[in-house]
A and B are shown apart, each in its own frame.
Chain A
Amino acid sequence: DIVMTQSPDSLAVSLGERATINCKSSQTVLYSSNNKNYLAWYQQKPGQPPKLLIYWASTRESGVPDRFSGSGSGTDFTLTISSLQAEDVAVYYCQQYYTTPQTFGQGTRLEIK
């Protein structure tokens, strides 16, 4: 199985500041034939299901605010929130869908400082 490791486990950022969450895969999730990274990001608020934010490592899902962006390639990826809003408090997960079984990172808890 591909192991997804996120860092940090938790993060406190001031309102309006940048938040950065990292995700590292134990092997590449870049498919060379189409040059796509098979990596998604989700946001999960308390008592709610995960919500898709980003797929193909950097494509924002429809309706997701543009302060959310994804970057990286191969084995190292980053989710960036450019200007933290109060409603962004949540746990964030990365997921690889390069191969089966699809696997998720352990999650990063984002709080307001």
Chain B
Amino acid sequence: QVQLQESGPGLVKPSETLSLTCTVSGYSLTSGYYWGWIRQPPGKGLEWIGSIYHSGTTYYNPSLKSRVTISVDTSKNQFSLKVRSVTAADTAVYYCARGEDYPNWFAPWGQGTLVTVSS
């Protein structure tokens, strides 16, 4: 049974870089599927950030593309998210999730991690 778990700092200062890692268990990233990041500001809806294939091919939401990098480390069975030059608007619960294809639905999802941007 595949499981995903996000990890990283819960507090980031404005203008700095937000960095999160998603560790996948129960499934090898090299076996396929696409792996995505989605965020949810407190009390608000869902926004797709981007997705990556195990080969390293990436897809980004154009609204965030200039500030976002997603990478994969198959040796650790992890994929990561970096968001540069963060502001308070980047405060959100960040989820990692699996997509069967791209674009596609997401299942399963990690539990999510709250990242607050504040000085």
Contacts and interface: CB of A to CB of B under 8 A. Distances in A.
Interface in B44-66: 45-48, 59, 61-63
Interface stretch (B11-19, B78-86, B106-114): B106-114
Nearest to B105: A40
Contact of B105 (A49, A95, A99, A106): A95
Chain A contact residues: over half helix, strand or loop, or mixed?
loop
**B contacts with A: majority SS:** loop
A101 B95 CA distance: 17
A104 B46 contact: yes
A34 to B, nearest CB: 13
B31 interface: no
B42 interface: no
Contact of A98 (B48, B103, B107): B103
A105 B44 CA distance: 11
14 contacts: A49-B95, A49-B111, A50-B109, A55-B105, A61-B107, A95-B106, A100-B61, A100-B103, A101-B48, A101-B62, A102-B103, A103-B48, A104-B47, A106-B45
**What 7 pairs across the A-B complex have the smallest Cβ distances?**
A49-B109, A52-B107, A40-B105, A97-B103, A104-B46, A101-B61, A55-B105
Given A40-B105, A50-B95, 16 more contacts: A48-B111, A49-B97, A49-B109, A51-B109, A52-B108, A55-B105, A93-B45, A95-B46, A97-B105, A100-B59, A100-B102, A101-B48, A101-B61, A101-B62, A104-B48, A107-B45
